[in-house]
Amino acid sequence: MARKQDEKKRTKILNAAISAFGDQGFTNTTMKDIAVASGIAPGSIYTYYKDKEVLFISSVNAVWKKFYLQLDRILHSNASISNRIQDITEYGFDILKELHPLVRGMYQEANRLNLFRKNLVRVSNQIAEIFDVPEAAHYPLTKYDSKSRAYLLKLWISGILFTFSSVSSARLKDEITNMRSLISQNLLPD
Amino acid sequence: MARKQDEKKRTKILNAAISAFGDQGFTNTTMKDIAVASGIAPGSIYTYYKDKEVLFISSVNAVWKKFYLQLDRILHSNASISNRIQDITEYGFDILKELHPLVRGMYQEANRLNLFRKNLVRVSNQIAEIFDVPEAAHYPLTKYDSKSRAYLLKLWISGILFTFSSVSSARLKDEITNMRSLISQNLLPD
Amino acid sequence: MARKQDEKKRTKILNAAISAFGDQGFTNTTMKDIAVASGIAPGSIYTYYKDKEVLFISSVNAVWKKFYLQLDRILHSNASISNRIQDITEYGFDILKELHPLVRGMYQEANRLNLFRKNLVRVSNQIAEIFDVPEAAHYPLTKYDSKSRAYLLKLWISGILFTFSSVSSARLKDEITNMRSLISQNLLPD
Amino acid sequence: MARKQDEKKRTKILNAAISAFGDQGFTNTTMKDIAVASGIAPGSIYTYYKDKEVLFISSVNAVWKKFYLQLDRILHSNASISNRIQDITEYGFDILKELHPLVRGMYQEANRLNLFRKNLVRVSNQIAEIFDVPEAAHYPLTKYDSKSRAYLLKLWISGILFTFSSVSSARLKDEITNMRSLISQNLLPD
DNA sequence: GATGAATGAGACTTCATTCAT
DNA sequence: AATGAATGAAGTCTCATTCAT
């Protein structure tokens, strides 16, 4: 019985944390913010979570966990491949809607200062234009209209940046090799 | 005549900043860190950069600028399409090597806590397995071997996450629609 | 239950502030000064007072409040006019004794550098001498002996300076007109 | 010749200082403010004035000096007493107009926070009301109308505050005695 | 002499964490 | 177990003064 009480409180804290970290990122979120949002005293949070960092990790993991739960259900369902892929996409985006603030929060600084969006769009558009000539006909990307092509390129570049954002210097070289071969395989003609 | 503002000094500060922000992210980097690294008094930094935020933005923009410079040169060269694409890839990754610390730094929190890498790999692998059956033969992703498939999926998911990390709540819905159609076009059979 | 905000502590801080601001003025007083004097950690002051400015205002207001309290009591007592005036004078000076450091602190800069005293005395004496001739007999100021006359003049000049120290430029002209007629009425013969 | 150049610069600095200290008080005025306003480099100011404090003292003294100059001229003129008093008043206020910003600046903190004006008015009015009864007829203050009475009282209180603002603790007691007898002589019936 | 960049001490304030109640 | 006041280290930025040019 007492346990249930505790779990409720723990959950309240976690939800408040997820939303606060999501809105403001790790460093801009104060323990007091979370305390106020969850209606629990600052000191009491430490009964449930060792420190701010643990609370942050727990927040992110909680979201991943939620995602895994649904992902597993879908993957192991009896639906057809096509349906399962559709399901994953659909549910993936549903989760993303929830997870969205947290993902944004993780990049709070970069986003606040609008460091990426414009540059990514500009670079994608510029590269996309290369394919606007007849000689490019045999490149895979020419099967898309101009706008889709730029959008797809933006996805690639974003993916590359994100990937490398979590690569250690030590592994940088290898990762570049991998990525390069992925690019040849996909964006260059056979 | 008095001492003149020294472009070399400005550059020293900027480089120290790029590397410090890269190693530790925005909030974990102190002005003193940058002062020590650049061998310049803390107060003097403010002669060249109004405040910490301006210095951070300048750091990121400096890297983008460098990238643009080379990008433009390549795009407007007389080389063949194929060569230009290869050049872009090659130079892009060269720049990425330099930019790497900064990109990492932007996600310093997430990276330090290893919040993504493992999860991304796990999810990608799980989804990739769907295609390990004969019935999946007509899906585009089956033309890759198992490992490449997972890697490509990881790229997609990373790109999606990165994209959404800078999408405002207001535009979330539209962006999802776009992304969804991109996925159908590319990952589902015609 | 947790520790409660402690009115005694709040008072300790306020008293330390009144005395520190009194000794050194607003800008020369540091929050650390007040912390040390009150035996309370610097950070804790902020539990009771939002910032330095609020603490300063509170200090001044606290003294005014005290003064009002006694003033009201006297004004509404049943004593005779004469007694009440005497009381006000008496109590007024009692309060002034307490308020003294703070009043001094407000003019800390001017006082520290002894910018007024000598000059005021000199000017007052010089003007007072005008009346040291038989022809001045019909001026109100001649009913005082030489010393008192100078002292009264000093009071007038001080009052004028103080008054104008809080007059905005916009209202300067009007205030001068008022003051001028007050002077005619009081210092010139009917 | 070189001397004349210097004196011009010295004067430029002084004027800029008077006006800057006047607008913002001692601590809120930076040497750079004065440098910019006078069109002279910060470092150069130190050629003419040892440090900020000396410059401040010089500013105040410059204004006093100007006042003395005119005061002396008037005092030693051949005009009648009445005319000389009128002249002093007139010229005094002329000087005050110039001196005004500096006087204000000295109390910059108190003025910015509006610590005095309201309180002085309130107190004066309250005390003035004492005399609004027939029994008060024999008090000197009753020869004024209600408004003038309050204004005169405000002058007295201001003068007292200003006077005591430059009294050391050691001399506080004596000064109070003096002031008290001045009050009896003037505000109480014979 | 003049200039203004360089210096670095020091100010205010925040906030994760502790601990008395 | 819960509370929230207390703590104090640490961060950003300002600015009087110095000194290389």
Q: What are the pLDDT digits (tens) for A54-109?
A: 999 999 889 888 888 888 888 888 888 888 888 888 888 887 887 777 777 777 77
Q: Is C102 exposed, middle or buried (0-12, 13-18, 19+ CB in 10 A)?
A: buried
- Across the C:D interface, residue pairs with CB atoms under 8 Å apart total 202
Which whole number is the average pLDDT over B29-49? 96
| D42: nt with nearest C1' to CA | E4
Residue whose CA is minimally distant from E14 C1' = C43
Integer CA distances (angstroms), C154 to C125, C158, D73, D164, in order:
8, 6, 20, 12
- With beta carbons under 8 A apart, name residues in chain C contacting D139: 81, 85
Q: Contact partners of D by the rule of 3+ C-beta pairs under 8 A? A: C
Q: Are D70 and D50 in contact (CB under 8 A)?
A: no
Residues 28-47/A with CB within 7 Å of nucleic chain F are 40-44, 46-47
Which of the residue ranges B52-56, B67-71, C59-63, D129-133 has the most confident prediction, judged by mean pLDDT? B52-56
Is residue D1 scored above 50 in pLDDT?
no
Within C29-80, residue ranges assigned H as helices are 31-38, 42-48, 52-75
CA–CA distance, C164 with D100 (Å, rounded to integer): 7
Nearest CB to B106: which of A107, A167, A176? A107
The reply to whether residue D185 touches residue C148, judged by beta carbons under 8 angstroms, is yes
Which pLDDT value is given to residue A5?
Answer: 60
Candidates B75, B71, B72; CA nearest to B94 is B71
Q: Does A130 contact strand F, using a CB cutoff of 7 Å?
A: no
User: Amino acid identity, residue B58?
Assistant: S
Residue B38's pLDDT band (cuts 50, 70, 90): very high
Residue A2's pLDDT band (cuts 50, 70, 90): very low
| Contact call for D and C: 3+ CB–CB distances under 8 Å | yes
- CB under 8 A, 24+ apart: contacts of D114-119: D114/C166, D115/C57, D115/C60, D115/C106, D116/C162, D116/C166, D116/D161, D117/C166, D119/C64
Is residue A1 scored above 60 in pLDDT?
no
Q: What is the mean pLDDT of chain C?
A: 85
Compare B140 and C70 and report the one with higher pLDDT.
B140
Is residue C8 scored above 80 in pLDDT?
yes
- With beta carbons under 8 A apart, name residues in chain C contacting D107: 106-107, 165-166
CA–CA distance, D99 with D67 (Å, rounded to integer): 9
DSSP state string for A9-22: HHHHHHHHHHHHHH
Which of the residue ranges C110-124, D96-110, D171-185 has the most confident prediction, judged by mean pLDDT? D171-185
Proportion of chain C above pLDDT 70, given as a percent: 98
- With beta carbons under 8 A apart, name residues in chain D contacting C107: 106-107, 165-166
Nearest CB to A165: which of B104, B148, B151? B104
Residues 21-40/B with CB within 7 Å of nucleic chain F are 29-32
Segment D58-87, tens digit of pLDDT: 998 888 888 888 888 888 888 887 788 788
- With beta carbons under 8 A apart, name residues in chain A contacting B97: 172, 176
Residue whose CA is minimally distant from F2 C1' = A44
Q: Does C32 contact strand F, using a CB cutoff of 7 Å?
A: no
Q: Are D168 and D176 in contact (CB under 8 A)?
A: no
CA/C1' separation A52–E15 (Å): 11
The reply to whether residue B85 touches residue A113, judged by beta carbons under 8 angstroms, is no
Which whole number is the average pLDDT over A166-172? 85
Which pLDDT value is given to residue D2?
Answer: 43
Proportion of chain A above pLDDT 90, given as a percent: 32
Query: On chain E, which bases lie within 7 A of the protein's CB atoms?
Result: 1-21
Proportion of chain A above pLDDT 70, given as a percent: 97
Candidates B79, B157, B117, B148; CA nearest to A186 is B148
CA/C1' separation B1–E3 (Å): 5
Nearest CB to C64: which of D106, D109, D119? D119
Which pLDDT value is given to residue D72?
Answer: 82
CA/C1' separation C99–E6 (Å): 44
Task: Look at residue D115 and give its three-state secondary structure.
Answer: coil
The reply to whether residue A27 touches residue B109, judged by beta carbons under 8 angstroms, is yes
Compare C92 and B126 and report the one with higher pLDDT.
B126
Residue whose CA is minimally distant from F9 C1' = C43
Å between C94 CA and nearest CA of chain D: 10
Residue A13's pLDDT band (cuts 50, 70, 90): very high
Which whole number is the average pLDDT over B25-39? 93
CA angle B188, A69, A16 (to 5 degrees): 115
Structure tokens at C4: 């409660």
Lowest mean pLDDT among A38-42, B173-177, C48-52, D115-119: D115-119
Q: Are A103 and B115 in contact (CB under 8 A)?
A: no
Residue A51's pLDDT band (cuts 50, 70, 90): very high
| Contact call for B and C: 3+ CB–CB distances under 8 Å | no
Which of the residue ranges A72-81, D29-38, D55-64, D117-126 has the most confident prediction, judged by mean pLDDT? D29-38
Segment C141-164, tens digit of pLDDT: 998 999 999 999 999 989 988 888
Residue D4's pLDDT band (cuts 50, 70, 90): low
**D97: contact with C, CB 8 A cutoff:** yes
Proportion of chain B above pLDDT 70, given as a percent: 98
Nearest CB to A159: which of B126, B156, B176? B156
Which whole number is the average pLDDT over A119-145? 89
Q: Does C42 contact strand F, using a CB cutoff of 7 Å?
A: yes
Q: What is the mean pLDDT of chain A?
A: 87
Q: Contact partners of A by the rule of 3+ C-beta pairs under 8 A? A: B
Which pLDDT value is given to residue B1?
Answer: 52
Is residue C2 scored above 90 in pLDDT?
no
The reply to whether residue A166 touches residue B104, judged by beta carbons under 8 angstroms, is yes
Which positions ≥6 away from A124 have C-beta within 8 Å? A150, A151, A153, A154, A157
Which pLDDT value is given to residue B2?
Answer: 66
Which positions ≥6 away from D165 have C-beta within 8 Å? C103, C104, C106, C107, C110, C111
Is residue A17 scored above 90 in pLDDT?
yes
Proportion of chain B above pLDDT 90, given as a percent: 33
Q: Is B153 exposed, middle or buried (0-12, 13-18, 19+ CB in 10 A)?
A: buried
Segment C13-39, tens digit of pLDDT: 999 999 899 888 888 899 999 999 999
- pTM, whole model, 2 decimals? 0.85
Which whole number is the average pLDDT over B98-124? 80
Segment B59-96, tens digit of pLDDT: 988 888 888 888 888 888 888 888 888 888 888 888 78
Q: What is the mean pLDDT of chain B?
A: 88
Å between C1 CA and nearest CA of chain D: 38
Which whole number is the average pLDDT over C79-88? 81
Which pLDDT value is given to residue C23?
Answer: 82
Nearest CB to C60: which of D115, D155, D164? D115
Segment C91-141, tens digit of pLDDT: 877 777 777 777 777 777 777 777 778 888 888 888 888 888 888 888 889
